[in-house]
């Protein structure tokens, strides 16, 4: 929760516009009767959203400055635009805090044609909440979630620290084995010459190798927190523990108690422990790393909201590890989830639902045959001639045409903008005032393509994903690396196609919100036909497993001399 709040605070920084009329800013900031719109203009009220949780009624109105010409149109269109991207506290339904970065462009206009284009005017802070206010129950639930997560962190740290302690113990045990006789009964020990020295060297190097191997294998930043214990790791820990304990037992009984004098034997005992530890490390490598490399299953991941799907090949993994694997690939394979693209335009859907009334004639007994009635209604509705598909088709065609027109304008504007600057060659003599660093160069050429960019992003409903800051940064990046303004590669590619989620700002990732839903225990291995769901607040990824088929390859030898050909004619034979 704290994190999400912090995130919203970061988001709603005041945008840096190119021309920001400070007077209007001041006007907007002053609450009072002096302003033309009675609603209240919260144009940039970043702090306000923090307290959003406690406010009960906030319908999804967007606040605009009163100076915008088309504010009336906005208010009419506002009701259509319901689906906002929700980035909010975990698990709760009542409060959704819209965090669109800096919505530089107007979030709402689904059909913006001629609008005023001053950046500063149309910046909005849009918040959407549902009808319920946040109540006491929700607060307790949220705090309980926080406590649970705190518990989870504790258990994870417990696991890690336990493993660390065990590893340390295992590492120091051979050294202890060799040192203890020296310390305790040094005088009685038989002198042990060359073989012991050789053994000492081998112990030293084996321990070093073990150390390096453990560092490589285990000391990596965990990429995910698993809901359940990792079975193989637990197994290995138990194995190491048993090994060390049994060695200590024997050592204590046979050597410490009886004060064995054969030092070489003791050193060899220690060396055998180190060997055993190395083999356990080998087992760890095989179990943790190698076993899952060979692909055994094909996972199909389907996004429930818009049907985008991908296939992945994985080896033997447990369900939770497979889930993390899928998520890692989700972030760079799936195009970003844009809820604005999903809805059919309202005009198409609104005509569908005119209800049928059902009358029952002549029956006195009011047996409430509701299913029969509803079935009749559905059947009648299905038979009725319905032309909404027509409208949908024309709507789509119109939208497509509009997008293409705007895209053409954008491409031309970008190309032209890029011709205004060039890299400074060493031999050019320019006075220092004219030399710009990439940031300034980006700002300089941004103005000429800003309008086209804004219109295009608005038409393709991508404007929540690209704030002005990110656009400028990308421009700066492209200028620095001499990228072409061309459509496919280079600069515009980022805007013309919806890219994978990881390309956008970290706030779009929402990486902490995933929940794994599965009918089988998540530490079970994958099997053919297993289905699990990775849920997020606004959609879910349904993953189903299929075993890769067993291929039976047979061999056929083809003699290179057997390739012969004839002309394909119409032959005529006389009989």
Partner 1 sequence: PAITVLYSISFSFQQRIEIHKLRQGDNLILGFSIGGGIDQDPTQNPFSEDKTDKGIYVTRVTEGGPAEVAGLQIGDKIMQVNGWDMTMVTHDQARKRLTKRNEEVVRLLVTRQSLQKAVQQSMMS
How far apart are CB 563 and partner 1 at their closest, in Å? 18
* The two three-digit tokens of residue 48, written as one number: 């306000």
Q: Which is nearer to partner 1, 258 or 573 (CB)?
A: 573
Residue in this structure with the two tokens 């304990």, named with its chain if needed: 245
* Length in residues, the chain: 575
Give dist(CA 6, CA 226) in Å, integer. 25
Residues numbered 540 to 569 that lie near partner 1 (CB under 8 A) are 568-569
Q: Three-state SS string across 413-461, please?
A: HHHHHHCCCCCCCCCCCCCHHHCCCHHHHHHHHHHHHHHHHHHHHHHCC
19 binds partner 1 (CB under 8 A): no
Rounded to the nearest whole angstrom, what is the least distance from the CB of residue 572 to partner 1 in the complex?
Answer: 5
Q: Which is nearer to partner 1, 382 or 569 (CB)?
A: 569
Nearer to partner 1 by Cβ, of 57 and 574: the residue is 574
Cα angle at 46 between 42 and 47, to 5 degrees?
105
For partner 1, give the closer residue by CB, 221 or 568. 568
Q: Does residue 571 belong to the site contacting partner 1 (CB under 8 A)?
A: yes
Structure tokens at 129: 């909440």
386-445 residues in contact with partner 1 (CB under 8 A) are none
How near is the Cβ of 565 to partner 1 at its closest, in Å? 13
Question: Of the two residues 26 and 569, which places its CB atom closer to partner 1 in the complex?
Answer: 569
Inter-residue contact 111 to 148 (CB < 8 Å): no
Residue 561 or 568: the one with the smaller Cβ distance to partner 1 is 568
Say how far apart CA 529 and CA 33 lie, in whole Å: 65
The least CB distance from residue 556 to partner 1, in Å, is 23
Min CB(564)–partner 1 separation in Å: 15
Residue 572 binds partner 1, judged by CB under 8 A: yes
Give least dist CB 559 to partner 1, A. 22
Q: How far is the CB of 570 from partner 1 (least distance, A)?
A: 4
Q: Out of 51, 354, 387, 570, name the contact with partner 1 by CB under 8 A.
A: 570
Residue among 150 and 567 whose Cβ is closer to partner 1: 567
Q: How far is the CB of 569 from partner 1 (least distance, A)?
A: 7
**Beta carbons within 8 Å of 330's beta carbon, 6+ residues apart:** 301, 501, 541
What are the DSSP calls for 280-346, one per residue? HHHHHIIIIIITTTS--EEEEEEETTT--EEEEEE-S-BHHHHHHHHHHHHHHHSBP--GGGTSPPH
Local structure of residue 520 (DSSP, 8 states):
S
Angle between helices 231-250 and 263-284 (to 10 degrees): 170
**DSSP state, residue 535:** E
The DSSP letter of residue 225 is -
Kindly list the distances between the CA atom of residue 22 and the CA atoms of 19, 25, 212, 444, in Å, as whole numbers in the listed order.
9, 5, 61, 21
Please, which residue, 554 or 570, has the CB nearer to partner 1? 570
The nearest distance, CB 566 to partner 1, in angstroms, is 10
- Least spacing, CB of residue 561 vs partner 1, in Å: 22
Instruction: Determine the 3-state secondary structure of 505 from DSSP.
Output: coil
Q: CA nearest 498: which of 536, 532, 453, 465? A: 465
Size of the site for partner 1 (CB under 8 A): 8
Burial level of 329, CB count in 10 A (0-12/13-18/19+)?
Answer: middle
Rg (CA), the chain: 35
Using the minimum distance from each CB to partner 1, give the nearer residue, 354 or 571.
571
Q: Which is nearer to partner 1, 364 or 572 (CB)?
A: 572
d(CA 258, CA 59): 83
**What are the two backbone dihedrals, phi and then psi, of residue 409, each rounded to the nearest 5 degrees?**
-65, -40
Residue 173 CB coordination number (10 Å) = 20
Residues 195-224, interacting with partner 1 (CB under 8 A): none
Other beta carbons within 10 angstroms of residue 575's beta carbon come to: 2
**Minimum CB–partner distance for residue 457 and partner 1 (Å):** 54
Please report how close the Cβ of residue 574 comes to partner 1 at its closest, in angstroms.
4
Residue 427 or 572: which CB sits closer to partner 1?
A: 572
Chain mean position to CA 345 = 28
Cβ closest to partner 1, residue 361 vs residue 569: 569
Q: Which positions lie near partner 1, rule CB under 8 A?
A: 568-575
């Amino acid at each position: 929760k704290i994190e999400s709040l912090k995130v919203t605070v970061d988001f709603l920084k005041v945008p840096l516009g190119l021309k920001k009329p400070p007077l209007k800013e001041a006007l907007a900031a002053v609450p009072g009767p002096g302003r033309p719109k009675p609603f209240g203009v919260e144009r940039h009220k970043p702090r306000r959203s923090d307290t959003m949780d406690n406010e009960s009624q906030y319908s999804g109105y967007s606040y605009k400055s009163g100076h915008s010409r088309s504010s009336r149109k906005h208010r009419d269109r506002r009701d259509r635009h319901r689906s906002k991207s929700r980035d909010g506290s975990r698990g709760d339904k009542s409060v959704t805090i819209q965090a669109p970065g800096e919505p530089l462009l107007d979030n709402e206009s689904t059909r913006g044609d001629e609008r005023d284009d001053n950046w500063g005017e149309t910046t909005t802070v849009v918040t959407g909440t549902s009808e319920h206010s946040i109540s006491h129950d929700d607060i307790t639930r949220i705090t309980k979630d926080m406590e649970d997560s705190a518990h989870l962190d504790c258990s994870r740290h417990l696991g890690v620290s336990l493993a660390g302690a065990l590893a340390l113990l295992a590492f120091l045990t051979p050294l202890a084995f060799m040192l203890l006789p020296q310390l305790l009964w040094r005088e009685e020990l038989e002198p042990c010459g060359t073989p012991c020295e050789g053994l000492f060297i081998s112990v030293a190097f084996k321990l070093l190798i073990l150390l390096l191997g453990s560092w490589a294998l285990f000391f990596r930043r965990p990429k995910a927190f698993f809901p359940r214990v990792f079975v193989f790791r637990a197994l290995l820990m138990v194995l190491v523990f048993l090994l060390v304990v049994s060695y200590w037992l024997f050592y204590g009984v046979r050597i410490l108690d009886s004060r064995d004098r054969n030092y070489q034997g003791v050193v060899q005992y220690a060396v055998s422990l180190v060997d055993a530890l190395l083999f356990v490390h080998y087992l760890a490598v095989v179990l943790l790393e190698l076993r899952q490399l060979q692909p055994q299953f094909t996972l199909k991941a389907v996004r429930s909201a818009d049907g985008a799907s991908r296939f992945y090949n994985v080896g033997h993994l447990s369900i939770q590890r497979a889930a993390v694997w899928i998520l890692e690939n989700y972030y760079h394979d799936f195009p970003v989830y844009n809820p604005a693209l999903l809805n059919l335009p309202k005009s198409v859907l609104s005509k569908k639902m005119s209800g049928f009334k059902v009358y029952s004639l002549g029956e006195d007994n009011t047996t409430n045959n509701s299913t029969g009635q509803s079935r009749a209604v559905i059947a009648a509705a299905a038979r009725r001639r319905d032309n909404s598909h027509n409208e949908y088709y024309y709507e789509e065609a119109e939208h497509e045409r509009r997008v293409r027109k705007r895209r053409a304008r954008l491409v031309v504007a970008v190309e032209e903008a890029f011709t205004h600057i060039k890299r400074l060659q060493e031999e050019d003599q320019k006075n220092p005032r004219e030399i710009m660093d990439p940031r300034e160069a980006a700002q300089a050429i941004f103005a000429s393509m800003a309008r086209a960019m804004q219109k295009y992003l608005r038409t393709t409903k991508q404007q929540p994903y690209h704030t002005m800051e990110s656009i400028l940064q990308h421009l700066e990046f492209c200028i620095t690396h001499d990228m072409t303004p061309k459509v496919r590669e280079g600069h515009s590619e980022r805007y013309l196609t919806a890219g994978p989620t990881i390309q956008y700002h970290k706030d779009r990732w929402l990486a902490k919100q995933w929940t794994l839903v599965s009918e089988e225990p998540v530490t079970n291995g994958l099997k053919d036909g297993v289905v699990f769901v990775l849920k997020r607040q606004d959609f879910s990824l349904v993953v189903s497993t299929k075993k890769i088929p067993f291929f039976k390859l047979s061999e056929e030898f083809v003699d290179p001399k057997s390739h012969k050909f004839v002309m394909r004619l119409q032959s005529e034979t006389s009989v």
